[in-house]
């Protein structure tokens, strides 16, 4: 037997222990031995409880002088410590050696050697492999059949932890064969779990991940989870992480929670913390940020007790990333500092990988938080760490090749010595020939290994380069996506906030009775232009949100037939003005009530009908809706039974589109030649419609021939619903508040906005009604005024310098008094998901800029229970209905002017006609017309006017 192991072993075990091991064969007796798999069953049910119980049993047996029972208890303690990765004290080691020598039971010594090898494998894999080899030789020499496969299993675990997959598969295959021969299902299950770890991992492809899943499931089938609870928990954890890496988060959560439940039953504190860490990562990916923080807070105290710093560093990094997403910047930076402080010392088996992961994630997070100096520093350290990681990998490969060479050389030498002893004289020539053949074989093996190593090195370099390129591409893509989102947020705020002031002040000024009528008309022109600009800005932002992947559907039930009738009324006047025939029709089997995004569908159809009427001079325009077969549904938008797909077609007899324009039509800001000549539109309507159709699960198609008109079609999946499921919108408030009803306190209102015009607008709206209003330019000022003045309600802008509205809201709502203060967010953001985030930080409600004053007053009524007095002249008489009978009382000239203004969509002319009607002592009819015009019910008014023309035509 080779003795090259002794210098390495002396570094980890006392010299007398080694000497004792050498003389054990002569001392073996026939003491009763507990099979190792029986001890595994005891420990696997709960390593922590088994460890405590074994220590008590060992002490009791020692006091009673029962050495066999004491040794059994110490073996259980040894195995339990191995399960939870805890070292054994020298006192326990010395007692095991003494009992082993006295009783002649070598199983404990074999298990102790395996544990020692496992301990040093985290620091020096070569020394560990030598010790594992000697442990196997020791077990085979003493015929310890139970111990050998367990040592191979531990060797495999070490290789798996160091990502040495080919070596891991070799020893794990041996372990599985031996366990299978012994019919040890628990050992087979543990081995299959490690084989699954070889195939799994975050870098594995889909095929290998599927293999990992299959091995984990097979491993679970081999054991009773009520008995082998630790192993069952490990396999469930492995399955959960396999699904996590494949982004199947629902399945991942199921298995991780099952693993957590088993771990808590075993009272395994440290292992529970590890599972909580993985569940926190999953919660962060699922955007369940409060859940992620709660899990991390539970896990962090125990993760510091684990020698492998991967979990502690990873937990602090995950916490920092979660806090950053919640805009808790200071806490996020503190977690980054905690992660840096937790980094392991150099020389630990995976320290280079932990450092590289930290520098990469910390650099990205510092950049996201705006700390570019720290971001650059961490990225610079990342390059150095990556270089060290590559050098470490190369050195490890060289060490492995040298170890393999030494092993092969020793095997050949031992074979030659045995052959010489058996055939000393008669086979001397044969021995020489065998020696020559052995040398040739060894040379071939070395040459094969060298070529394999070179190929593996080249392959590794290639994969590393590909991985780096993919990482750079992903980071660039993520940076571009974040830049788009930041641009959208900034532009939404910078454009909507001034528009809010412009539209608000023009509405206030138009009510001033002292202004001359021509000045009021000019203000109406400004207001109309502002609303047109608001519409264009919304189109650009909608298109940008779609490109950035931030657009969402807001689906609800509604009356499709009613929408089609409304569109027919809306465009009837424009068609009549141009002498065109407009038809809006649907097949009999088209459902009346459907569930989809009504707002986007309405906008699509308005854009398409508007374009069709704009470029059609003769003939007509047809909007037709028909029901399609279920097999035409988009596979990515499958719906519950019964399936339904609706096809919308807009057909016109206009000038058509040239082939060279048709291929580019539908791109943003692109118009056909006819549109360029007409100098109308921005080229956004069709692009936005195409994007909305795609978002809803369909595809928009255009076919046309010059001079023969154009046909635009699209199909979208919808779900038919019952009448009871549709949402009925409340009627809009048309009254104008002029003051507070008597018997109420004088409410204190705080307006927080970094733009002075925003604060002034709120003051001018609320002060005349009887509110006390103060203003603050940022969140810090708002907190100071709130502490001193205690307002009843705060209108809080979200984006401000010094301290933003989010942080100010959090601080106010964190106090007892602050919870009684109503805070309503005022934001110019165009992102729908921001509403949920703002409400989550403590705001009581949400209002977007630019806002209408009625929406402002409705929120104040809802949250403060304030009662308003209204301008009686501003309330439409419920007895006045906008039908042919009421409008027939108007002079023919006024009806003609009103119809012309409505057809041209000229809001200034519409308001002038209404003012003329009001001045003629018909104020109730004027107010009813004004309310309808404010809701853009132009089609209904024109329909009533046309009925008068049909019954009493004008000369």
Q: Which CATH number is 819's domain given?
A: 3.40.50.2300
How far is it, in rounded angstroms, from Cα 187 to Cα 157? 13
Q: Greater confidence, 807 or 69?
A: 807
Helices within 511-641 (DSSP H only): 517-547, 560-577, 598-614
Instruction: Say whether both 622 and 685 belong to one domain.
Output: yes
Is residue 42 in a domain? yes
Give the pLDDT band of residue 437 (cuts 50, 70, 90). confident
How far is it, in rounded angstroms, from Cα 941 to Cα 573? 10
Residue 311 buriedness (CB in 10 A; 0-12 / 13-18 / 19+): buried
With tokens 């507070």, the residue in question is: 740
Partners of 649 in the beta sheet? 624, 713
Give the pLDDT band of residue 894 (cuts 50, 70, 90). confident
Is residue 679 in a domain? yes
Q: Is pLDDT of 433 > 90?
A: no
How far is it, in rounded angstroms, from Cα 799 to Cα 778? 9
Least confident of 96-110, 223-237, 323-337, 704-718: 96-110
How far is it, in rounded angstroms, from Cα 823 to Cα 96? 69
Give the pLDDT band of residue 593 (cuts 50, 70, 90). very high
The reported pLDDT for the residue numbered 663 is 63
Ramachandran region of residue 640, left (φ > 0), alpha (ψ -120 to 50) or beta?
beta
Q: Of 114, 142, 162, which residue is a domain's last? A: 162
Instruction: Say whether both 819 and 922 belong to one domain.
Output: no
Q: Would you mind telling me the total number of residues written for the chain in this entry? A: 955
How far is it, in rounded angstroms, from Cα 764 to Cα 324? 38
**Residue 451 tokens, joined:** 């070529």
Give the pLDDT band of residue 925 (cuts 50, 70, 90). confident
Q: Long-range contacts for 34-37 (Cβ within 8 Å, ≥24 apart)?
A: 34/72, 34/75, 35/146, 36/107, 36/111, 36/146, 36/147, 36/150, 37/146, 37/182, 37/184, 37/186, 37/187
Q: Greater confidence, 921 or 274?
A: 274
Give per-residue pLDDT as tens, 173-186: 888 988 888 888 88
How far is it, in rounded angstroms, from Cα 731 to Cα 883? 19
What is the mean pLDDT of the segment spanning 288-298? Answer: 91
Instruction: Say whether both 10 and 92 belong to one domain.
Output: yes
E strands of 347-496, at which residues? Answer: none
Is residue 878 in a domain? no
Instruction: Say whether both 704 and 849 belong to one domain.
Output: no
With tokens 């779900």, the residue in question is: 719
Instruction: Say whether both 655 and 540 belong to one domain.
Output: no
Answer yes or no: are the C-beta atoms of 838 and 846 closer than 8 Å.
yes
Q: Of 144, 162, 180, which residue is a domain's last? A: 162
The reported pLDDT for the residue numbered 665 is 64
Instruction: Say whether both 860 and 921 belong to one domain.
Output: no
Least confident of 242-251, 265-274, 489-498, 814-823: 489-498
Helices within 342-371 (DSSP H only): 351-368
Instruction: Say whether both 4 and 109 belong to one domain.
Output: yes
Instruction: Say whether both 621 and 704 belong to one domain.
Output: yes
The DSSP output letter for 771 is -
Give per-residue pLDDT as tens, 734-747: 567 888 988 899 99
Give per-residue pLDDT as tens, 319-338: 988 998 888 888 888 988 88
Q: How far is the CA of 946 from the CAs of 110, 583, 619, 889, 904, in angstroms?
A: 102, 17, 20, 14, 16
Instruction: Say whether both 583 and 536 belong to one domain.
Output: no
- Report how many domains make up the chain: 5
Instruction: Say whether both 98 and 150 belong to one domain.
Output: yes
CA 596: distance to chain centroid?
A: 24
Q: Is pLDDT of 153 > 90?
A: no
Q: Strand, coil or helix: what is 190?
A: helix
Least confident of 421-425, 625-629, 677-681, 917-921: 677-681
The reported pLDDT for the residue numbered 405 is 39
The reported pLDDT for the residue numbered 806 is 93
DSSP string, 592-630: SEEEE-HHHHHHHHHHHHHHHHHT--SSEEEEEEEEEPG
Q: Which residues of 640-666 are buried (b: 16+ CB within 10 A; e: fewer)?
A: eeebbbbbbbbbbbbbbbeeebbeebb
Is residue 580 in a domain? yes
Give per-residue pLDDT as tens, 817-855: 999 999 999 887 656 667 888 999 999 998 888 787 888
Is residue 361 in a domain? no
E strands of 419-561, at which residues? Answer: 556-559
CA 657: distance to chain centroid?
A: 43
Instruction: Say whether both 904 and 835 belong to one domain.
Output: no
How far is it, in rounded angstroms, from Cα 292 to Cα 280? 4
How far is it, in rounded angstroms, from Cα 896 to Cα 644? 45
Answer yes or no: are the C-beta atoms of 571 and 613 closer than 8 Å.
yes
How far is it, in rounded angstroms, from Cα 718 to Cα 696? 9
Q: Of 705, 725, 745, which residue is a domain's last? A: 725
CA 153: distance to chain centroid?
A: 37
Q: Is pLDDT of 414 > 50?
A: no
- Phi and psi torsions of 370, nearest 5°: 90, 5
Structural domain span for residue 539: 501-546
The reported pLDDT for the residue numbered 777 is 93
Contacts of 415 (CB under 8 A, 6+ apart): 434, 438
Dmax (CA) for the chain in angstroms is 139
The 3-state secondary structure of 702-752 reads: EEECCCCCEEEEEEEECEECCHHHCCCCCCCCCCCEEEECCCCCCCEEEEE
Contacts of 134 (CB under 8 A, 6+ apart): 5, 9, 113
Other C-beta atoms lying within 10 Å of the C-beta of residue 909: 17
Is residue 122 in a domain? yes
Highest mean pLDDT among 81-95, 448-462, 474-488, 688-702: 688-702
Is residue 215 in a domain? no
Instruction: Say whether both 680 and 783 belong to one domain.
Output: no
Q: Is pLDDT of 264 > 50?
A: yes
Is residue 562 in a domain? yes
The reported pLDDT for the residue numbered 11 is 39
Q: Supply the mean pLDDT for the chain.
A: 76
């Amino acid at each position: 037997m080779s003795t090259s192991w002794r210098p390495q072993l002396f570094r980890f075990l006392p010299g007398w222990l080694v000497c004792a091991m050498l003389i054990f064969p002569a001392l073996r007796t026939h003491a009763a031995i507990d099979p190792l798999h029986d001890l595994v069953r005891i420990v696997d049910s709960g390593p922590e409880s088994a460890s405590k119980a074994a220590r008590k049993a060992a002490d009791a047996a020692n006091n009673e002088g029962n050495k066999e029972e004491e040794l059994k208890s110490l073996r259980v303690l040894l195995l339990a410590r191995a399960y939870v990765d805890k070292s054994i004290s020298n006192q326990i080691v010395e007692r095991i050696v003494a009992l082993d020598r006295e009783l002649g039971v070598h199983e404990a010594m074999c298990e102790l050697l395996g544990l020692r090898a496992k301990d040093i494998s985290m620091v020096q894999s070569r020394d560990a492999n030598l010790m594992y080899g000697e442990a196997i030789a020791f077990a085979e020499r003493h015929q310890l059949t139970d111990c050998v496969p367990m040592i191979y299993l531990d060797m495999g675990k070490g290789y798996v932890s160091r990502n040495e997959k080919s070596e891991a598969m070799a020893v794990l295959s041996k372990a599985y064969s031996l366990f299978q021969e012994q019919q040890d299902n628990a050992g087979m299950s543990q081995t299959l779990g490690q084989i699954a770890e070889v195939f799994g991992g975050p870098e594995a492809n889909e095929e290998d991940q599927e293999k990992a899943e299959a091995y984990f499931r097979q491993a679970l089938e081999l054991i009773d989870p009520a008995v082998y609870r630790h192993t069952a928990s490990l396999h469930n954890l492995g399955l959960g992480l396999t699904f996590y890496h494949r982004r199947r988060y629902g399945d991942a959560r199921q298995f991780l929670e099952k693993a957590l439940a088993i771990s808590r039953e075993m009272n395994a504190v440290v292992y529970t913390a590890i599972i909580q860490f993985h569940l926190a990562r999953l919660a962060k990916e699922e955007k369940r940020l409060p859940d992620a923080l709660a899990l991390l807070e539970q896990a962090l105290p125990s993760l510091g007790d684990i020698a492998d710093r991967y979990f502690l560093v990873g937990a602090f990094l995950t916490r920092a990333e979660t806090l950053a997403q919640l805009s808790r910047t200071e806490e996020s930076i503190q977690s980054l500092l905690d992660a840096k402080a937790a980094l392991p010392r150099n020389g630990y088996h995976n320290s280079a990988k932990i450092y590289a992961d930290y520098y990469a994630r910390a650099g990205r997070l510092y950049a996201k938080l705006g700390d570019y100096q720290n971001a650059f520093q961490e990225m610079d350290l990342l390059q150095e760490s990556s270089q060290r990681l590559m050098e470490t990998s190369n050195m490890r490969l060289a060490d492995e090749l040298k170890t393999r060479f030494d092993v092969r050389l020793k095997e050949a030498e031992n074979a030659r010595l045995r052959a010489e002893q058996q055939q000393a004289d008669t086979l001397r020539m044969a021995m020489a020939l065998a020696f020559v053949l052995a040398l040739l074989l060894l040379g071939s093996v070395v040459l094969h290994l060298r070529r394999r190593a070179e190929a593996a090195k080249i392959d590794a370099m290639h994969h590393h380069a590909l991985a780096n390129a993919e990482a750079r591409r992903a980071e660039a893509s993520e940076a571009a996506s974040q830049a788009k989102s930041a641009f959208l947020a900034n532009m939404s705020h910078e454009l909507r906030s001034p528009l809010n002031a412009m539209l608000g002040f023009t509405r206030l000024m138009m009510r001033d009775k002292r202004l001359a009528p021509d000045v009021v008309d000019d203000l109406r022109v400004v207001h109309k232009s502002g609303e047109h600009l608001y519409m264009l800005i919304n189109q650009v932002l909608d298109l940008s949100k779609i490109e950035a992947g931030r657009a969402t559907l807001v689906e609800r039930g509604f009356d499709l037939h009613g929408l089609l009738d409304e569109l027919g009324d809306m465009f009837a006047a424009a068609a009549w003005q141009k002498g065109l025939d407009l038809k809006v029709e649907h097949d009999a089997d088209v459902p009346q009530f459907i569930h989809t995004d009504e707002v986007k569908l309405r906008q699509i159809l308005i854009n398409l009908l508007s374009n069709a009427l704009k470029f059609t001079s003769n003939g007509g325009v047809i909007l037709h809706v028909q029901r399609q077969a279920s097999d035409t549904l988009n596979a990515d938008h499958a719906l519950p039974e019964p399936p339904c797909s609706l096809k919308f077609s807009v057909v016109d007899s206009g000038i058509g589109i040239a082939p060279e324009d048709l291929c580019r039509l539908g791109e943003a800001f692109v118009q056909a030649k006819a549109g360029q000549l007409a100098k109308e539109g921005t080229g956004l309507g069709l692009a936005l419609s195409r994007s909305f159709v795609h978002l809803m699960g369909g595809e928009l198609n255009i076919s046309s021939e010059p001079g023969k008109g154009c046909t635009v079609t699209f199909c979208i999946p919808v779900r038919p619903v019952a009448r009871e499921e549709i949402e009925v919108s409340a009627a809009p408030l048309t009254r104008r508040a002029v003051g507070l009803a008597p018997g109420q306190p004088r409410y204190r209102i705080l307006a927080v906005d970094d733009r002075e015009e925003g604060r002034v607008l709120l003051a001018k709206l609320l002060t005349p009604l009887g509110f006390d209003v103060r203003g603050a330019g940022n969140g810090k000022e708002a907190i100071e005024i709130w502490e001193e003045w205690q307002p009843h309600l705060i209108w809080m802008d979200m984006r401000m310098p010094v301290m933003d509205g989010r942080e100010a809201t959090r601080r106010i709502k964190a106090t007892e008094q602050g919870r009684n203060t109503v805070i309503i967010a005022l934001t110019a953001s165009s992102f729908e998901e921001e509403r949920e985030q703002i409400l989550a930080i403590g705001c009581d409600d949400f209002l977007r800029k630019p806002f209408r004053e009625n929406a402002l007053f409705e929120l104040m009524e809802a949250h403060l229970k304030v009662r308003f007095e209204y301008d009686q002249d501003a309330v439409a008489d419920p007895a006045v209905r906008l039908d042919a009978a009421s409008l027939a009382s108007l002079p023919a000239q006024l009806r003609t002017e009103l119809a012309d203004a409505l057809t041209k969509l000229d809001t200034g002319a519409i308001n002038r006609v209404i003012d003329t009607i009001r001045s003629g002592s018909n104020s109730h009819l004027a107010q009813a017309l004004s309310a309808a015009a404010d809701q853009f019910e132009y089609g209904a008014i024109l329909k009533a006017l046309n009925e008068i023309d049909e019954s009493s035509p004008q000369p």
